[in-house]
């Protein structure tokens, strides 16, 4: 039985996989079981911030494995406290809750927003969280409820009550939703990732922040995909001219290890009291060490590199035959092609380049340190595939 057959026989069939087994890699170059090398423009969906098998990250994690692997959150471990401090110092947030995934980081944000309102206005007085049509916030029942895409809802109801979806970039609709519902939070992705790599208008985000502040409704940024340097700033909200009351992040934070974080700002820093929330693995020393290594290396030089590579990609793709538009920020890009995105990605893979799709776009999420020569080679392949 080969791996494809074993997977088909024994793994829950929730994934439509590409017909490729990955057996190794170095940086942005992955090795298939077919003996071929592939240039990685997906990073395990924005996770492998510094690519596969990054030496500094690996050595840090190995050293931690040899010291303290797991303790539960009943004891103190240094990496978790150090990571929380680094996140706070670099964002202005005041405390951090750690989980293991994006969905859990969002669950924490939802619970914090509801408890903030419950503490202040009475239990159940303001339960509603407004999110956007075409958003994606995760696959747990509550984060699915938050997700504004019907395709994810079919078959799984009943859902957690208290979520309202409004169209993006429509400030009047948001204001109406805040008037008509008893709201504790507004949750936004600065760039809708799974929704097709669609950035929000800056003026809309700033307007939403103003509406939230006026009504003591918490602004929650879902930075699960956009975070950790992906868009050319440490967090995407830092280039929209707003400061959220709290935000969630995960994917790229651990550089390949599962960790999610919910940094909490001044208003909500003490909202989640003892025993109100928790996670067995959350902020585990191994994952926190991986995240510390990643975060400490996302400095201004790296971010300038991300923005330069963005310009390089735009120069190669904008106006290229078969390319209709390129959307996104930094190294989170959506490419609208004349050929269906799935077919373009398939052709790319046949020619040694791994890309992703998001709705009708080809989605690019390369490692933040992908060398320019590899990037250029991959873009040449993508240009050819788009025609």
Ligand X SMILES: *Cc1c(COP(=O)(O)O)cnc(C)c1O
Residues of the shown chain interacting with ligand X in the complex, contacts defined by CB under 6 A: 101-103, 106, 136-138, 189, 193-194, 222, 224-225, 250-251
Asked if residue 233 lies in contact with residue 222, where contact means CB atoms within 8 angstroms, the answer is: no
Q: Which is nearer to ligand X, 40 or 222 (CB)?
A: 222
**Nearer to ligand X among residue 100 and residue 289 (C-beta):** 100
Closest CB 341 distance from ligand X, rounded Å: 17
Nearest approach, Cβ of residue 352 and ligand X (Å)? 26
When the beta carbons of 166 and 224 are compared against ligand X, the nearer one is 224
In Å, what is the CA distance from 193 to each residue of 19, 215, 238, 334? 24, 28, 17, 9
Structure tokens at 366: 């390369």
**Phi, psi (rounded to 5 degrees) for 340:** -55, 140
Residue 190 near residue 240 (C-beta atoms within 8 A): yes
Nearer to ligand X, 115 or 251 (CB): 251
* Rounded Cα distance, 19 and 4, in Å: 8
Strand partners, 185: 129, 218
Containing 62, the helix (H) or strand (E) segment is: helix 55-65
| C-beta of 128 vs 149, nearer to ligand X | 149
The least CB distance from residue 252 to ligand X, in Å, is 10
- In angstroms, give the least distance from the CB of 144 to ligand X: 10
- d(CA 268, CA 265) in angstroms, rounded, equals 6
Running DSSP on this structure, what letter comes out for residue 171?
Answer: H
Cα distance between residue 265 and residue 247, in whole Å? 9
For residue 385, the minimal CB distance to ligand X (Å) is 25
Whichever of 198 and 382 has its CB closer to ligand X, that residue is: 198
Q: Is 308 in a helix, a strand, or coil?
A: helix
Name the minimum Å distance from CB 225 to ligand X.
3
Strand partners, 358: 361
Q: DSSP class of residue 195? A: T
Nearer to ligand X, 127 or 138 (CB): 138
Nearest distance from C-beta of residue 251 to ligand X, angstroms: 6
Provide the minimum distance between the beta carbon of 247 and ligand X in the complex, in angstroms, as a whole number: 11
Residue in 5, 201, 187 with CA at minimum distance from that of residue 114: 187
Q: How far is the CB of 333 from ligand X (least distance, A)?
A: 14
Which residue, 101 or 128, is less far from ligand X as judged by CB? 101
Q: Determine the length of the chain.
A: 387
Return the residue nearest ligand X (CB atom): 102
CB < 8 Å & 24+ apart, contacts of 161-166? 161/127, 162/114, 162/127, 162/128, 162/129, 163/128, 163/129, 163/130, 163/131, 164/128, 164/129, 164/130, 164/131, 165/130, 165/131, 165/132, 165/133, 165/135, 166/130, 166/131, 166/132, 166/133
Query: Which of 16, 273 has the CB closer to ligand X?
Result: 16
């Amino acid at each position: 039985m080969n791996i494809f057959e074993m997977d088909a026989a024994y793994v829950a069939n929730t994934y439509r996989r590409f017909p490729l087994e990955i057996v190794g890699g170095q940086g942005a170059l992955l090795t298939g079981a077919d003996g071929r090398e592939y240039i990685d423009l997906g990073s395990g969906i924005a996770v492998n911030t510094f690519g596969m098998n990054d030496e500094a990250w690996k050595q840090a994690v190995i050293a931690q494995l040899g010291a303290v692997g797991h303790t539960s959150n009943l004891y103190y471990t240094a990496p978790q406290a150090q990571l929380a401090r680094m996140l706070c110092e670099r964002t202005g947030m005041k405390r951090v809750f750690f989980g293991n995934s994006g969905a859990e980081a969002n669950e924490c944000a939802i619970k914090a927003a509801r408890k903030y309102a419950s503490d202040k206005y009475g239990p159940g007085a303001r339960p509603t969280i407004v999110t956007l049509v075409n958003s994606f916030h995760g696959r747990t029942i509550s984060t699915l409820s938050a997700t504004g895409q019907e395709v994810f809802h079919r078959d799984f109801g009943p859902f957690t009550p208290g979520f309202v979806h409004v169209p993006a970039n429509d400030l009047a609709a948001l204001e109406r939703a805040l008037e008509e519902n008893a709201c504790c939070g507004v949750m936004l992705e600065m760039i809708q990732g799974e929704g097709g790599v669609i950035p929000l208008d800056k003026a809309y985000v700033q307007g939403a922040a103003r509406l939230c502040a006026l009504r003591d409704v918490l602004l929650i940024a879902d930075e699960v995909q956009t975070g950790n340097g992906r868009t050319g700033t440490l967090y995407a909200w830092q280039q929209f001219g707003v400061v959220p009351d709290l935000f969630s992040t995960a994917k790229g934070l651990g550089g390949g290890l599962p960790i999610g974080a919910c940094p909490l700002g001044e208003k909500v820093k003490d909202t989640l009291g003892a025993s109100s929330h928790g996670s067995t693995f959350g902020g585990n020393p191994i994952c926190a060490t991986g995240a510390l290594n990643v975060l400490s290396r996302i400095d201004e030089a790296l971010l300038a590199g991300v923005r330069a590579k963005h310009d390089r990609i735009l120069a190669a793709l904008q106006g290229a035959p078969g390319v209709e538009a390129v959307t996104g920020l930094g190294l989170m890009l959506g490419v609208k092609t004349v050929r269906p995105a799935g077919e373009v990605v398939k052709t790319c893979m046949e020619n040694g380049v791994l890309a992703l799709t998001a709705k009708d776009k080809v989605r690019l999420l390369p490692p933040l340190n992908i060398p320019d020569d590899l990037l250029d080679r991959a873009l040449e392949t993508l240009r050819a595939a788009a025609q």
